[in-house]
Amino acid sequence: MTDAPLRLRLDTAALVANWRALDALSGAAACGAAIKADGYGLGAAGVAERLAGAGCRDFFVATWREAERLAGLGFDVAVLHGARAEDMAAAASGIARPVLNTATQIARWREGGGGRCDVMVDTGMNRLGVSIAEVEDGLLDGLAIDTLMSHLACADEDSAMNARQATALRELGGRTAARRMSLANSAGIALGADYAFDLTRPGLALYGGVPRGELAGVLHQVVTPEAQILQRRTLAAGESIGYNALFTATAATEVAILNIGYADGYWRGFSNAGCARVGDAALPVIGRVSMDLTAISVAAAPGLVEGDWVSLDYALPAAAAASGMSQYELLTGLGQRFARVWTA
Ligand SMILES: *Cc1c(COP(=O)(O)O)cnc(C)c1O
């Protein structure tokens, strides 16, 4: 196949260092990895292979389609959205275990013969999960539960809800046959030992996202988009560029047009706000990001020519602030046109 004109540089050492740091912060608890949404856009198999090599044993995806793409690679995968009727054949094949969320899913699982499963209990987020009352009434009795888990609604904030959720989960200790309990996502790990239970489930922070200030010095950037220059031009003073003419040159401006746009997940919020880089030279985005193309000023590196490559600034907290997108969206939106290139 033809080489792509845009690529994601994915830093193995940074990914592994992030997991090791989160594992250390998890104390005695094991540290897993959320690799749903294709490993937050990086590529689930590539992420899982590298983290398994570092010692990670627990992987979480959202759907059975995602589990099927990992089947046969030897990872211990749990499917967060449980088991619909449509999923039972895949579940029976043993490629992963469901995280059961509702009384209906639990009945379906028992009818299908049961077997090892996880269960999500709702402790206040009111998204997925059985209620505490259902657990206390015996809904889970006799189930072969590996991990009884819950999910924090406000872990990235200093909210009283965090402690309430941890207490609610802790009070279920011993009420089921679960081998382990689990609560913390990335931000939850930073809340400390009371939130670690037996297993933590970071996603965002593995990939360099920083959900809480405590993690800022701890995590490394993993993902860097790079794009090739398709055309060089010079804007004369008074000329504008791009859709809706959102940038007008006040003096002659050297410009490069990059092969990247919002269809690649380089969102329109980067219009007049993002920045590319070659070496130490900062090359600001000018005008509106379009579907497949983005213009930058190359005043700081006028020697750039058609075919050269530039990196886009993608340190996630800063890129989120610049674009108005969440750090999660900046990862999971990364499109299929990138060549994904893992470096050591
Ligand atoms: C996505 C998800 C995680 C990981 O969350 P991050 O905020 O990305 O660390 C953990 N647990 C559940 C249930 C999830 O859905």
Q: Where are the domains of the chain?
A: 32-208, 223-343
202 CB within 6 A, ligand 1: yes
185 CB within 6 A, ligand 1: yes
**Residue 66: what pLDDT?**
98
Q: Token match 């792509």: residue? A: 4
CA-to-CA distance for 73 and 58, rounded, in angstroms? Answer: 13
Query: Residue 296 — very low, low, confident or very high, per pLDDT cuts 50/70/90?
Result: very high
Query: Residue 49 — very low, low, confident or very high, per pLDDT cuts 50/70/90?
Result: very high
Atom of ligand 1 nearest to the CA of 155: 7
Chain mean pLDDT for the chain: 98
Model confidence, pTM: 0.97
**Residue 336: what pLDDT?**
97
Architecture of domain 32-208: Alpha-Beta Barrel (3.20)
The residues annotated with a catalytic role in the active site are 36, 243
26 CB within 6 A, ligand 1: no
Rounded to the nearest angstrom, the distance between the alpha carbon of 34 and the centre of ligand 1 is 6
Are 242 and 268 contacting, i.e. CB atoms less than 8 angstroms apart?
no
233 φ, ψ to 5°?
-155, 170
**Residue 275, H or E segment:** strand 275-278
151 CB within 6 A, ligand 1: yes
**Residue 340: what pLDDT?**
98
270-294 mean pLDDT: 98
The pair of three-digit structure tokens given for residue 162, joined into one six-digit string: 């965090």
The reply to whether 20 sits in an annotated binding site is: no
Rounded to the nearest angstrom, the distance between the alpha carbon of 279 and the centre of ligand 1 is 35
**Residue 28: what pLDDT?**
98
Rounded to the nearest angstrom, the distance between the alpha carbon of 37 and the centre of ligand 1 is 11
Beta bridge partners of 119: 100, 148
Are 76 and 58 contacting, i.e. CB atoms less than 8 angstroms apart?
yes
Q: Token match 């047009």: residue? A: 257
Task: Give residues with Cβ within 8 angstroms of 30, minimum separation 6.
Answer: 23, 57, 58, 180, 198, 199, 200
The reply to whether 88 sits in an annotated binding site is: no
24-48 mean pLDDT: 98
Cα Rg of the chain, angstroms: 23
CATH number for the 223-343 domain, one of 2.30.30.240, 2.40.30.20, 2.40.160.10, 2.40.37.10? 2.40.37.10
Task: Give residues with Cβ within 8 angstroms of 114, minimum separation 6.
Answer: 142, 143, 144
Question: Pick from 143, 90, 88: which is nearest to 115 by CA?
Answer: 143
User: What residue's CA is closest to ligand 1, atom 4?
Assistant: 203
267-291 mean pLDDT: 98
CA-to-CA distance for 74 and 60, rounded, in angstroms? Answer: 14
Query: Residue 219 — very low, low, confident or very high, per pLDDT cuts 50/70/90?
Result: very high
